[in-house]
Amino acid sequence: MAKEAISTPVIRRLPRYYRFLGELEREQVERISSRELAQRMGLSASQIRQDFNCFGGFGQQGFGYHVKELREIIGEILGVRKDTGVIMIGAGNLGKAIAAHVDFEKRGCKLIGIFDNNPLLAGTMTASLPIMPMESLDSFCEQHKPQAAVLCIPKDAAQQLADKLISLGIVGFWNFSHFDLRINNPDIIVENVHLGDSLMTLAYCMHHRDETDE
């Protein structure tokens, strides 16, 4: 496999390739050409070939891509078998919805602890896990060594909490707090998620339909 660094736009497309290849596998499709995959995904065939070339190609002239093999390779790149320990901070409306509806394990992660500073929530269950008080955070991290945190707290609390979590060993943030975290450490990875941005992208594309590329 090529060892070159993969660019961020390609990485952002990988989960989508992984999902579509999973669908093809369930439909028992063994191989697919870049043209057919492109049609299915609403991309261009050259985009797909370019993307897959970033991690070694794998297409064969006249054969296309081997669906199962390609999905395994993309899954390996995405780390879907890694079992990364994840904690969640903030078990309000959003936190509970994410805990209940995101299949962490299918994506190489395991939600192992949920924390909230509301004493009324302590001990109540979400996604089969008891919500723990913030006072338990240090000892929990020491014992279970989670690597990533989902932040579903108000934005005012996000930066301070992130700094504390880094001191407890967290190296990845899935941050929903509506505050773009500032972390001056290249070893810490932050994925800021704003659902509203996605809605605005939709609105833009709808209003500029005639100008967007095929």
In 3-state terms, the chain is what percent helix, strand and coil (to 5)?
45, 20, 35
By CB under 6 A, the count of residues binding ligand NAI is: 24
Q: Which of 89, 114, 149, 170 binds ligand NAI (CB under 6 A)?
A: 89
Q: What's the closest the beta carbon of residue 206 comes to ligand NAI, in angstroms? A: 20
**Quick one: which of 69, 61, 112 has its CA closest to 89?**
112
User: For 209, phi and psi rounded to 5 degrees?
Assistant: -50, -40
Q: Which two tokens stand for residue 188?
A: 């810490």
Does position 116 interact with ligand NAI (CB under 6 A)? The reply is yes
Min CB(152)–ligand NAI separation in Å: 5
Taking the C-alpha atoms of residue 26 and residue 30, their distance in angstroms, rounded to an integer, is: 10
- Residue 164 interacting with ligand NAI (CB under 6 A): no
Q: Is 56 in the site for ligand NAI (CB under 6 A)?
A: no
Closer CB to ligand NAI, 64 or 146, in the complex: 146
Considering only residues 127 through 156, tell me which ones interact with ligand NAI, judged by CB under 6 A.
134, 152-155
Minimum Å gap between C-beta 163 and ligand NAI is: 12
Dmax (CA) of the chain: 63
Q: Does 193 bind ligand NAI (CB under 6 A)?
A: yes
Q: First vs last Cα of the chain: how many Å apart?
A: 31
Helix (H) or strand (E) holding 79, with range, is none
Name which of 10 and 91 has its Cβ closer to ligand NAI. 91
Least spacing, CB of residue 190 vs ligand NAI, in Å: 13
Residue 95 touching ligand NAI (CB under 6 A): yes
117 binds ligand NAI (CB under 6 A): yes
What gap in Å lies between CA 47 and CA 10, rounded to an integer?
10
Rounded to 5°, the CA angle 198-129-194 comes to 10
* Closer by beta carbon to ligand NAI, 84 or else 117: 117
Would you call 115 exposed, middle or buried from its count of C-beta atoms within 10 A (0-12, 13-18, 19+)?
buried
List residues binding ligand NAI (CB under 6 A).
89-95, 116-118, 134, 152-155, 157, 161, 176-178, 193-196
